[in-house]
Structure 1
Amino acid sequence: MAGSGGPLSRSGLRGREAELDVLRALIDSVARTGGGALAVLRGEPGIGKTTLLTEAVTRARAAGFSVGLGKADELHHLVPLSSLATCVLHGDRPLLSGEALIDLTRRHDQRIWLVERLAEAIEERAGGTPLLIALDDVQWADPLSRFALKQLPGRLRTSPVLWLLAERQGVDGPTQEIVAAVADELPVRTLSLGPLSGAAIGQLADDTLGAAVGERVRELLAGAGGNPFLAVEMLAGLRTSDVSDEPVPPGLVVGVRGRLGSLHPDTLRFLQMGAVLGRRFGFQDAAALCGRPSVALLPALEEAVRAGLLDDDGDRLVFRHDLLRQAVYVDVPPSARKVLHREAAGRLVAAGHQPIDVVSHILRGAQPGDEEAVALLRRAAADVLPVTPGLAADLLQRALDLVPPARPLWFAVGEQAIVSLTRAGRNREALATGDRLLAYRPPMETFGRLHAALGGTLWNLDLADELRRRTEAALAVGGAAPEVEARLAGLRALALSRAQDLAPAREAGEEALRAAVATGDREAHVQALFALGETALNAGENALALERFTALSAVDPAFFPEEIVAYQHMDDFVTSGRLLARAADESGGIREAMLLWAQGQQHLELGRLDDAEADFVTMERLEEEVQAHVQQVNGRVIRSRIALLRGDREAARQHLAEARKRLAVKPNPGNTAAVRFLEAVHAEADGDAGRAVDRVRQVQREGPFLRWRLLRTWVGTAIRVALRGADRALAEDLAAQAEAHAARNPTVPTATGLAARARGLVSDDLPLLERSVALLGESPRPLVRAAASADFGRALLAAGRRDEAVAALTGAQDAFTAAGAHAVAAHVQRDLRRAGAGGRRTGDGQRPVQGWQALTASEKKVARLIAEGHSNRAAAELLVVSPHTVNTHLTSAFRKLSVNSRVQLANLVMALPDE
C-alpha cells in the first residue's frame, strides 16, 4: 500500500487522486485537532466507493487510528442495529463484545438510552486513540442504525472520530439526513464519485495487461461507461488471452451476465440460491434451497470461488461485489423469487434464526392467507417494538394485509398494530386502523379490546371527550374479558380527569383501581393509578397526587418522572433531587425526555435558570429525535419566561413565536392556556395592560385544572396583570383560587405563602404581605420568595417605612441577581432608588457572546471536568444531571470558546488563570 503521504496511483484507484487527497486531509485533521468529522462517498454501483473506503481505512490504520469497518446488507436491513454492529463488533480492537451489544439491544427499550451507551463506548476508546468508523452500503442500514448515525457524529463531535459512510446513488438512503443533523457541528465532506475518465480506464488496462493493450481492447473498455468495477471484470478475462491473434479475445466478457454464462448449470443454480439468501449466505442454506446435499455442491462452490464470484470468509460465503449478486438474482424469474424467499424464511427459522432475521424474505415472498408468515411478522414486531416501534408498526401493517378482513386473526393483528403505531407516535394512523377494524363489527369481546388498545391513541391526540365516549360505549356493550373491562374503566377515569367536575373522575378511578387489583392485570392497574394521579393533580391535591404517582412508578418505572414532579409540588426538592440522581443510574426504561422535564422543573424552581434552560433545550432535542412531541409547547413557554426574567426580550419573543407554532400542531386546552398566559406576560412587559388582562381572562375560561397547573407559582403575576388592567373581579377570583389551593395543601409552604401574597396584593394588605414573606421563608423556591419580598418592600415603601422597605427590596434584588433574573432585579433596583437607596448595581445581565466569561456557571463546570479527562457520563454523575444535559452544556461551551475538540478545550482551560 502507499503509505501516508505517498503516491496515489495504486492500481484500482486510478482517477481518484482528488478524492483520496480529501480523505487523507480529514484523517490528518482528526488526528491533529482531536475533533470529529464526517465523510460521505456517493455513487453508482461499481463506481469505486468500496475501494476508496478500503484505501481510507488502510491510511487511517497507518496513521494510528483504531478502525471499525462494516457493511450493511440489503436482506438484513430490518434487523435492529445490525448495520452499525458490523462496525463496532469488528476491526482490530472491537468497540463492544458481541455479548455486550446483545445486552444493549435486548434489555432496554429506549433508543436514546441505547445511542448514549454506544456513544460512551466510542468516546472511551477515542480517549486513547483516534477512531475511524466506516460503514459501506449505508443505503441498506436498518432503522435503528440510521437513528444512531443521525445522533452519534454530533454527540461525539468533540472526540477524534472520523465517520466514513458509503452510499449508493439513486437509492433512498440516510446520508442526507445524517449530514443535515450535523452540518453545523463538525466538518462534513460529501464526495460524489462520477465515471472515471478514459485516461484513468486506460491506466487500469495498462496496470492489468501492460503492453498487451491495443486499440480494440480500449474501444471495448469504453463500454464500461467509466465504471471501474465493470472495466476490471472485463480485464480479468484478458490476463491469459493472446490478444494479438484474435480481433475479439475469447476470454473477454462484456458485462457480468456473459461471464456467468460460462459456468456449469449446477454452479449457476447454486449461485442463484445464494443470491436469494443475500450477499452473505451459509453454504448449507444455499444447498438446502437447491434441494441437494451439501457434499454434492462442493464442485459448484469451488468453481464459483475459482471464477472470482464468491469469497469464503471462513464462516459465510460472500459475493465479491453486490453487482455480481444482483446480476445472478435478476436472472431468477420473479415468480420463482417469491417462492424461494418464502422457502428461505422457513428454512432459516427452522435452523434457529430469529424472526426478524428472515423478515426481508417474508416481505418478498409471503402471499395473502399465509398464516405462518403472519405469525413470524408478529413475533418479529414484538421483538423490535421496544427499540424501533415504527418498524414494528410497518411489519404489522404488512401482516394485516396478508389476512382476509373480519377474521379473528385479522382483528388480533390489528390490535397489535394499533399499539405499535401508538408507541411510534403515529397516532392518526393508529386511530384510522382502529376505526377500519371496528367498521367490520367485531365480536363484543374483540370490540372491547380494540377500544382499550385505542385508549392511549386518543389520549395522545388530546381527545379526552372522544376517549370517554368510546370507553363508555364499550363498557355498555359488555362481553369483554374482566381485564379488558378493567382497562376500559381506567381509561374512562383518565378521560374524566379533564372534566370541569372532578368528583366523577375520582369515583371512576377508585372503581377502576379495585377492578384492576381484582383481575391482576398490570395494564389496567397502570391506567387506574395514572387516572387517579392526574385527577388529584388537576384538583390541586398535591399530597394525594404524590401518593398515586408513587404507587404508579412502583408498578411501572416509566412513570418515575411523574413521581419526581409530584414531590416538587410538595416543596420536597430534597427527595426529588435524590430521585433524579437515582434515575441517572437506572438501567433504561425511563422516558428520557420526561425525566429532563422533571430535571428542568427542579432547576427552575430552585432558581437555577441557566441549568433549567439547558434541560429544556435538551428535552426539546430528544423529543424531536424520537418524534414524540409531548412538552414542546410548555418547554418553549418556560424558556420564554426565563428569557424575560433575564432581560433578553428578543429571545423571549422568539420562544413565544415557536410556542405558537407548536400550539398550531397540538392545540389542546392545556397548551392553549399556557401560550395565552405567556402572551399576557409579554403584553404586560410591552405596557399593553388591556391585552394582558384579556389573555388572563382567556386562561380562566379554560377550566379549573388548567388554572392549578398553570398558575400554581405564577398567580402573583396574574393578579398584578388583573389589577393593572382594572379588572378587580378577576383579581379577586385569582386570589380565591390561590386560597382554595392552599386549603387543599396546608403542609406546602409555597401554597400557603402564595395564598397570603395573593390576598395581600388584592386587598393591599401590608400584614398579609408580611405574613406571605414569613410563610414563604419555609419554601425552597428562591424566585417565589424574592417576588413576595419585593411586593412586601413596595408596600412598606408606600406606607412610609423606608428602612424596612430597603431591607426587603435589597433581599429581593440579591435573590433575583443570584438566580440570573437580571430584568426583575433591575426593576427592584428602580424601587430602591425611589426609596433613596441606590441598591446594588445589577448591570444588564448580558454575558459576552464569546470567550470564557460567556459561559454559564454550569458550562464552566462541565468544561473543566471534560478538560480534566472526564467522559460525559462521568461529568454528569459528578454534577447530578443527565449526560444529555452535559452534552448540551458542552455544545454551548465549544461554540462560545470557538474550539472543536476536547484537546483544544483542555489546552484553553489549562491556560486560564485560577478563579
Structure 2
Amino acid sequence: MTPGRPDGEGVATPGSAGLSRPGLRGREAELERLRALVEAVRDGEGGAVASLRGEPGIGKTVLLEETVSIARARGFAVSHGRAEELHELAPLASLASGLLHGDPPLLSSTDFADLAGHHDQRVWLVERLAQLIEERAAATPVLVAIDDVQWADPLSRFALGVLPARLLSSPVLWLLAGRNAPEPYGQGPRTTTLPLRPLSGTALAALARDVLGEDVPERVARLLDGAAGNPFLASEMLTGIAASGGDGPQPPERLVLGVRDRLAGLRPDTLHFLRIGSVLGRAFTLADAAALCGRPASGLGAELDEAISTGLLHDEGERLLFRHDLLRQAVYADLTPSVRRALHREAASRLVAAGRSSVDAVPHLLKSAEPGDLEAVGLLGAAATDMIAVMPERAADLATRALELVPRHAPMMFDVGERAVVALTRAGRYTRARDTGDALLARRPPLEVFARLQCVLGDTLWHLDEVHELTRRSTAALAAVTDPVVRARLTARLAMARSRGRDLGAARETGERALAEAERAGDREARVLALWALGEIALNAGDCAAAVEHHTALSVFDTAFLPEEAVARIHTDDFDTVRRLLGTAGDAPLRPAMLIWAQGTLNMGLGRLDDADADFVTAERLEADLHVPGNLVNIRVNRGLLAMLRGDRDAAREHLDVVRAAVAARPNTGNHAAHQYFEAVVADAGGDHAAAAELVRSAQRDHPLLRWRLLRPHVVQAVGIALRGGDRNLAEDLAAQAGEHAARNPSVPTARGAAAHAAGLVDADPGLLERSVRVLLTGPRPLPLAAASADLGRALLTAGDPAAAPALARAHDIYTRAGADAEADRVRADPERAAGRSGRRTGGLRPRHGQGWDALTASERKVARLIAAGHTNRSAAEALVVSPHTVNTHLASIFRKLSVRSRVHLARIVLAEGDAGKPPAAE
C-alpha cells in the first residue's frame, strides 16, 4: 500500500490495467452500476441515491472516490465530504465537510452562513438547502458524496432523509458510503443499495498479482485466507510480504492485524502519540494531540514523521488523519479500557480548557464520564440545551445521560431532572418524560421544586391527552407555589386543560387570570400559554371574534403562532386578511407545517379542493419529516371529506383507516371528535343513516368542544345526517345551536347562512333556504352557497316552482368549478328524478383519470408548465404565490401521474400537450 494515501483501501497496482485506482479488484460490477447511475443522472433521468454498505476495509471509500472521479470527468459539480465519529454533535458538519469545498464549492460560505444561522429550524434549513442545490443543478448535474455516513451528525442525517426525495426531479446523485447497519435516510424509489461483500478467491489472487507480480507463492494464497475477503486486510498482508521480500511466513493472526507489526517497532513516544490520536478520532489536530500529550506541538516532529513514514498517519495540513479507520481501531484496541476511559475524560477537560465548545467535549464524556462527575453533568446539560431546538432527540439522550450521572441524593438532581423532562417532551418521548418526572416527585422535593416539576410535566400531560390529570396536578401545585412565574405558567396550563371541558366560562376566567399573572411576572412562556388557552377556549365556545382577538395578540407577541391567527380569522370569513397574513409568512422558517395547514384550510373554504388537498398532503409530509404528526387526524379527516365531495369513496375509506390508527395510538379528545364525525359522514354515504346519526349524537354528547366547532362549517351536513337517520330531536338541537352560533357571530355570513340553512332543512321551509342563499352570496365560501342553492332548488322543484332551475344551475356550476364531482352529479340528477326519469346516480361513478395528462389537476398543470419552462421550485412557488413545499407536492404527484422521473421528461410531455392545442383557459 502506498504510504500516505488517505483512503487506504487499495494497493499499488502495476498490473491492473483498466482500473484507474488501486483497490478496485473484484469491484468491477459495482463500479459499472455506479458509472451507469452517473450517466443516467447526467443524461436527464432525474435524481438518484446510491448507498454503499459494508464492513470497515471492504472497499467503500475507494469505490466512492472512483465514482467522484467519474462524475467530475462527466461535468458534475461535486461535493465530497466525510462524517467523523467524534464530531456527530456539530450541526450540519457532515454535509458541510463537502459542500464548502471543491472548485468551485457547491455552496458559498455566505450561503452556508445563512443556513447555519437557521440551524434550529430544520424544515426551513432543508428547504433552503434544496433550493440552493436545485439552482446549481439547473446548470450542471450534481454529485453529493459522503463517506462514513454512519457517523453523520443529527442535522445532516435529517437533511439526508429529506433532500433526496425533495430533489428527485433534479439531476442530483447522492452517494452515501457507510457501515452495514440500515440507514434511516437516502431511501426511496430511486435508491440503489450496493452491499459490498468479501472478495472472492479469484479477486484476492488478482490483488496479490498486482502487488507481488505474476508469481504468487501458494503459501501467500493460503495466508490470504486470513483476510476473510477484506481487501484492506489483504492489502496490509501483501504490503508486509512485499516489504520483507517475501522471506519467511508470518503468523496469520499478525498479518490480519498487520498494523501491530508496525506498532511494535515504533519508539515509545510515537506509540503514545498515536494512542492519543486514536482517542481523539480518525481526524485530529496536532494541537489537540500535543495538549493531551502534555507537550508543545513543536516537540512532536519526530513522532509525527515516524507515524507518517510507517503509513499510519496522513498529514492533510490542517489536521492529521489515520490512513484508514481500521488502523485507528487497531491502535485504539491496544489501550486497556481503563486507559481509554481516562484519556477520553482528559481529552474532554483539555478541549474545554482550550476554549472549545461542549459539542467537542461531549463525545468524549459519553465514553468516559462516571456517576458523580459533576463537570460532565454540567457539560452534557449545556450541550442538551444548545441542541434542543436543532435535534431534540439527541438533546433528550444527553439530558437523560446527565441525570444518570448525578449522585442519588445531590441537590442538583431536581434541576438536572427538570431539564431531562423538558428535553424528553420536546423529543416526543412523552411517556418517558412523565415517568422521569414522577420518579423525581417520588423523592418528595421541596414544595417550590414540586410545583416547578408539575409545571414542566404539564406540557407532557397535555400531549398525552391526560387532561383530567393535568387539571388535578396543576391545581395541587398551585396550592404549593409562591414563585410568580411558576404560578402564572401553572394557571395557564390549567386554563388549557379546562378548554377541553364543559364549563368554558370557568375556563375563560382561568385563562384571564393566567394572562394577568403572566403580565405581572413578565414571563414570556406564561403569556404565550395564557393567550393560546384563551384563543382555544373562545373557539370551543363558538366566540369567533374573541378567538381572533386572543390569537392575534399571540401572533403579534410570537410570530410562530401566525397560523393560529390565520385559522381563527378563517372562522370569521375574513379571507382577505388571511391571504395577507399567509403572504407575509412567505419564507418564514417557523412552523411551516402549520402555515401550510392554514393555507389548506383557507383553500378548502374557498372551494379550491385540489389546492387544499395538495396543501394537506404537504403539511402531513412536513410533520412526518419531523416525526411529530400532531395534526395527522385533522389532515386526514379533511382529505377524507374532500374525497367524499369528489365521490372517491375508496380514498375516503383509506383516509378513515389512517385516522382510526392514529386515534388508537394517540387518544386525543379533539381527535376523537373529528374521527367520530368523519365516521358518521362515511356511514351516511354508505346508506347506514341510523348509525351515522348515532355517531353525530355521541360526538355531541361525549365531546363538548365539538358542539361549536361542528358548526364551522359542517352543521348543515350534520343536520342532514340526523334527518336521514330519523333523529329529528338531534336535527333540531343542531339547528338551535347553529342559531345561537349565528347570534354570537352576527358579522360572519357563513354563521348566519348556515343557521338559516339548518333551520330550513328541519322545518322544510323554502323561505329559510332562500334567506340562507341570500346571506351566503355575501360571504366568501362557495361550497356552503352551493349546498344551500341545491337544497333550495330541490325544495322548489318539489313544489313545482320554476325558480328551481336557476338555483340548481348555480349549485351545479359551483360544485363543478370546485371539483366536487359527486355533489355536481347529485344536483344534475335531481330534475331527472323529479320528472320520473332514472337520473344517473353519483357516488364516484365518474372517477378521475389515474394516469396521463388528463389526470392532472389545474394547479398541477400550471406547475408542470412552469417547471418545463425552466423554473425552479422556488421561482414556480413565487409565480403561483404558494409555498415551495406545496410545489414539491404537486411535482411529486405530476411525476407519478405522468410516469416521468425528471424535468427533462416532463418538459417533453408539456411540449407535446402544447402542440396538441390544450390552452390553460380550457382548464
Q: For the superposition of Structure 1 and Structure 2, which TM-score range results when normalised by the shorter chain? A: over 0.9
Asked whether 1:232 is paired with 2:239, we answer: no
Asked whether 1:61 is paired with 2:72, we answer: yes
Moved more, 750-759 or 696-705: 696-705
Q: Identity, % of aligned pairs?
A: 60
Q: Which of 424, 429, 433 is the aligned partner of 1:421?
A: 424
User: By how many angstroms is 1:909 displaced?
Assistant: 1.3
Q: 1:9 to 1:311 in 2, by over 3 A?
A: closer
Partner of 1:471: 474
User: By how many angstroms is 1:247 displaced?
Assistant: 6.0
Q: 1:195 to 1:487 in 2, by over 3 A?
A: same
Distance 2:397 2:110 in 1: 28
Distance 2:908 2:312 in 1: 53
User: By how many angstroms is 1:101 displaced?
Assistant: 2.9
Asked whether 1:549 is paired with 2:551, we answer: yes
Partner of 1:659: 659
Alignment map for 1:143-542 (pairs within 5 Å): 143-169=154-180, 172-174=181-183, 177-179=184-186, 181-182=187-188, 184=189, 186=190, 188-210=191-213, 213-243=216-246, 246=248, 255-479=258-482, 481-542=483-544
Partner of 1:825: 824
User: By how many angstroms is 1:25 displaced?
Assistant: 0.8
Partner of 1:858: 859
User: By how many angstroms is 1:357 displaced?
Assistant: 2.0
Alignment map for 1:96-135 (pairs within 5 Å): 96-98=107-109, 100-135=111-146
Asked whether 1:729 is paired with 2:721, we answer: no
Q: 1:272 to 1:108 in 2, by over 3 A?
A: closer
Distance 1:532 1:51 in 2: 61
Distance 2:20 2:132 in 1: 37
Amino acid at match of 1:896: K
User: Unmatched 5+ residue regions in structure 1?
Assistant: none
Q: CA RMSD in A?
A: 2.1
Partner of 1:816: 815
User: By how many angstroms is 1:762 displaced?
Assistant: 1.0
Amino acid at match of 2:855: A
Q: Is the 8 A contact 1:8 1:20 kept in 2?
A: no
Distance 2:677 2:22 in 1: 69
Partner of 2:563: 561
Distance 1:173 1:835 in 2: 63
Amino acid at match of 2:18: P
Moved more, 355-364 or 698-707: 698-707
Distance 1:594 1:376 in 2: 34
SS in 1 for 2:493: helix
1:753-784, CA deviations, whole angstroms, 9 ceiling, x for partnerless residues?
11111111111122111111111111111000
Q: Which of 81, 86, 90 is the aligned partner of 1:79?
A: 90
Distance 2:260 2:301 in 1: 23
1:336-357, CA deviations, whole angstroms, 9 ceiling, x for partnerless residues?
1111111111111222322112
User: By how many angstroms is 1:92 displaced?
Assistant: 2.8
User: By how many angstroms is 1:640 displaced?
Assistant: 1.3
Distance 2:662 2:672 in 1: 10
Q: Is the 8 A contact 2:829 2:841 kept in 1?
A: no
Q: Is the 8 A contact 1:820 1:845 kept in 2?
A: no
Distance 2:37 2:789 in 1: 58
Distance 2:80 2:22 in 1: 22
Alignment map for 1:759-774 (pairs within 5 Å): 759-774=759-774
TM-score calculated relative to the size of structure 2: 0.94
Q: 1:448 to 1:98 in 2, by over 3 A?
A: farther
User: By how many angstroms is 1:848 displaced?
Assistant: 1.9
Distance 1:261 1:248 in 2: 14
Distance 2:798 2:674 in 1: 33
Q: 1:296 to 1:786 in 2, by over 3 A?
A: same
Q: 1:11 to 1:404 in 2, by over 3 A?
A: closer
User: By how many angstroms is 1:34 displaced?
Assistant: 4.1
SS in 2 for 1:178: coil
Alignment map for 1:680-695 (pairs within 5 Å): 680-695=680-695
Partner of 2:648: 648
Q: 1:89 to 1:278 in 2, by over 3 A?
A: same
User: By how many angstroms is 1:710 displaced?
Assistant: 2.6
Partner of 2:608: 608
Distance 2:419 2:198 in 1: 48
Asked whether 1:882 is paired with 2:883, we answer: yes
Q: Is the 8 A contact 1:406 1:442 kept in 2?
A: no
SS in 1 for 2:58: coil
Q: 1:12 to 1:603 in 2, by over 3 A?
A: same
Partner of 2:3: none
User: By how many angstroms is 1:832 displaced?
Assistant: 2.4
Alignment map for 1:39-54 (pairs within 5 Å): 39-54=50-65
Distance 2:904 2:820 in 1: 34
Partner of 1:38: 49
Distance 1:671 1:247 in 2: 73
Distance 2:113 2:94 in 1: 14
Distance 1:422 1:248 in 2: 57
Q: Is the 8 A contact 1:68 1:92 kept in 2?
A: no
Give the number of aligned pairs.
898
User: By how many angstroms is 1:167 displaced?
Assistant: 1.4
Distance 2:573 2:528 in 1: 26
Distance 1:636 1:214 in 2: 69
User: By how many angstroms is 1:787 displaced?
Assistant: 0.4
Amino acid at match of 1:235: L
Q: Is the 8 A contact 1:34 1:130 kept in 2?
A: no
Distance 1:165 1:560 in 2: 38
Distance 2:107 2:451 in 1: 46
Alignment map for 1:617-766 (pairs within 5 Å): 617-766=617-766
1:630-689, CA deviations, whole angstroms, 9 ceiling, x for partnerless residues?
111121111111111111111111211221111111222222221221222122212222
TM-score calculated relative to the size of structure 1: 0.95
User: By how many angstroms is 1:262 displaced?
Assistant: 1.1
Q: Is the 8 A contact 1:606 1:780 kept in 2?
A: yes
Partner of 1:907: 908
Alignment map for 1:571-582 (pairs within 5 Å): 571-582=573-584
Amino acid at match of 1:277: L
1:697-721, CA deviations, whole angstroms, 9 ceiling, x for partnerless residues?
1111024321211332111111112
SS in 2 for 1:675: helix
Distance 2:427 2:556 in 1: 25
Q: Is the 8 A contact 2:689 2:721 kept in 1?
A: yes
User: By how many angstroms is 1:234 displaced?
Assistant: 2.2
Moved more, 889-898 or 344-353: 344-353
Distance 1:9 1:295 in 2: 39
Distance 2:497 2:28 in 1: 66
Q: Is the 8 A contact 1:133 1:162 kept in 2?
A: yes
Amino acid at match of 1:47: I
User: By how many angstroms is 1:478 displaced?
Assistant: 2.3
User: By how many angstroms is 1:109 displaced?
Assistant: 2.8
1:481-532, CA deviations, whole angstroms, 9 ceiling, x for partnerless residues?
2111111111111111111111111111111111111111000110111111
Distance 1:754 1:211 in 2: 91
